[in-house]
Amino acid sequence: MKSEKTIAWVLLLVLPLGFAAIWRLQHGIDAQRAGLSQERDDVLLRSGRLVKIMSLEYAPLLADIYWTRVVQYYGNKHVRGQANLELLWPLLDITTTLDPNLLISYRFGAMFLSQAAPAGAGRPDLAVQLIQRGIQANPEYWRLYEDLGFVYYFDLKDYPKAAEAFLEGSKKPTAQLWMKVMAAKVAAEGDSFATSMFLWKDIYDSTPDPSVKENALLHLRLLKVREDCQQLDALADEYAKRYGKRPARISQMVQAGLLRGIPGDPLGFAYIFGQDGKAQLNLDSPLLEQQLLLDRFK
């Protein structure tokens, strides 16, 4: 009898807990299904043009609603650490079709698209497409060129296109000077010496700000150093072909007839070969410290 009573008490305690656990599990499943259904509903009509036609004069209002859904969709996925953001582009496509002047959707939408998973969709190509659409609809808004330049620079590592975007944006009436500075800097990183030199020279000639002028002059000098060192390294390669080894001193190339004299940097200090055999600034040149400082913050 005692054992039967014990079993009865156990069942009385366990069964409600079991039912509660089952209810919670079912509730969680229902919530997930509702979320998936909501996501499917958001892009049931994937044609932005069709949605715009159906929205009549309420297109801007509907664009705000879709943009809110973009943020919610991205936020929910980001919090859960989910890398699947396949609905992000359709939602942004509809949003910007409904309201081509909704600038925030281009700027933050491109950020959501370009970042690598799981922080973003890992689609910088779509980010470029979105921003270019924004530029077409808002050609005077220079910030979109800034965003385009950074996508090319950080995500695609396409320095020529990044420099082109910054430069084009710098031509807008309200653009800030640093856009042209970025164009010059990125062009140098892409080894486009002629473009970078031209831009820094333009900045130097056009700015009334002494500090900006001094910074431009420094970059012009260091660009000349980079160009000189590349040419000296090319001559050192030619020397190695002739004599079977690279020169240890610049004077050896003068003796070989590859140089008329020992060249100097823009401040007049003679170039030298470093321990790695590459041409570099003289240890006594004031430009060396400035070059190391700039390299440190790249």
**Do the Cβ atoms of 273 and 247 come closer than 8 Å?**
yes
Spatial distance between the Cα atoms of 73 and 67, rounded to a whole number of angstroms: 10
Per-residue pLDDT of the chain (298 residues; tens, 9 = 90+): 445 555 444 444 544 444 444 445 445 544 544 444 444 444 545 555 656 656 667 788 888 988 999 999 888 887 777 768 889 999 999 999 999 999 999 999 999 999 888 888 999 999 999 999 999 999 999 999 999 999 999 899 999 999 999 999 999 999 999 999 999 989 888 878 888 888 899 899 988 888 899 999 999 999 999 999 999 999 999 999 999 999 999 999 999 999 999 999 999 999 999 999 999 999 999 999 999 988 776 6
Could you give the maximum distance between any two Cα atoms of the chain, in Å? Answer: 114
Rounded Cα distance between 8 and 297, Å, is 74
Domain ranges of the chain: 45-139, 222-298
Residue 239: count other Cβ atoms within 10 Å of its Cβ.
Answer: 18
Closest CA to 106 of 136, 133, 80: 133
pTM: 0.70
